[in-house]
Structure 1
């Protein structure tokens, strides 16, 4: 009986972990890494946590994606980059709290605003409060938020029911 309870707890932990992580498409709702998106506004409407993923979608003939240091970000320089991506559909996992810096390495693109700073906060923490002007206003954004909350709530309910059955319902020894 104890082994079954441990297996259920492990399975519930995996469900909750996957429910807690969020995948963001940079530049949503259009979902493009491009010269038109205001990345400062886009980031201000979101809070990023370890485990979240950010997807950069772009034409590899027109752009690229380079992760750089703060100095590289400030100077729009990819000379000493941390990593470079060129697939046009790059997924970056945010593994730990801290700040990550990305830019397009093509000449003039970063200077034209094609750079993004992602502040990753510890689970349960939050970054600076989102002002009402920066909050997501589309029904799709609101729906995604509600969907994520419902997924977490359903995962917790499943966990509680599984634990109840594993602990309370035992064969009687008569």
Structure 2
């Protein structure tokens, strides 16, 4: 393989490693999960996260007592579960975030949303050069109701240590591959 072809392969591997290193899995409520027991503040939980396109959000809960409903901003604010956009009931629901914006979820069991079982997953928009916007609508943002401001974005720091470790190891493997197969002469 010619040197320029190897350089192109190296660059493609580096770009793939960079993209892979940014996906994270977030379990809503962390060890407390999706519940009304323990007065979990899901707003505070979400504020500690740096959600990005490609991340996966996991709702773990007892399906006998809870569910997950994706709703509009207005429904989220008023805890209105009458006509959700989607309803999940497995007890272990996984949602891949495919675009930026606010993604609103509530528990539709009467009284649970009012007790605080609701979460706004705010995926910040990044520059077009860093991540193109996918066209999938699985977790498309819901525009807020007219004249109702959306919640302000959080300033939580990203999981740099974990992402950095994955990115570094991928970089090291790609560099090793490049050097091992580098021709000794042109």
TM-score, normalising length: structure 1:
0.77
Q: Corresponding residue for 2:171?
A: 156
Map Cα deviations across residues 74-112 of structure 1 (whole Å, 9 max, x no partner).
111122322111100001111111110000011110011
Q: Which runs of 5+ in 2 are unaligned?
A: 131-152
Q: Is the 8 A contact 1:50 1:123 kept in 2?
A: no
Give how far 1:12 is off.
3.7
Q: Corresponding residue for 1:92?
A: 95
**Aligned pair partner of 2:71 in 68, 73, 77:** 68
Aligned length: 157
Q: Which runs of 5+ in 1 are unaligned?
A: 136-143
Of Structure 1 and Structure 2, the greater helix share is in 1
Q: Corresponding residue for 1:101?
A: 104
SS where residue 29 of structure 1 aligns? helix
Map Cα deviations across residues 55-83 of structure 1 (whole Å, 9 max, x no partner).
00001100000000101101111223221
Give how far 1:121 is off.
1.1
**Aligned pair partner of 2:41 in 30, 38, 42:** 38
User: Are 2:53 and 1:27 equivalent residues in the alignment?
Assistant: no
User: Are 2:115 and 1:112 equivalent residues in the alignment?
Assistant: yes
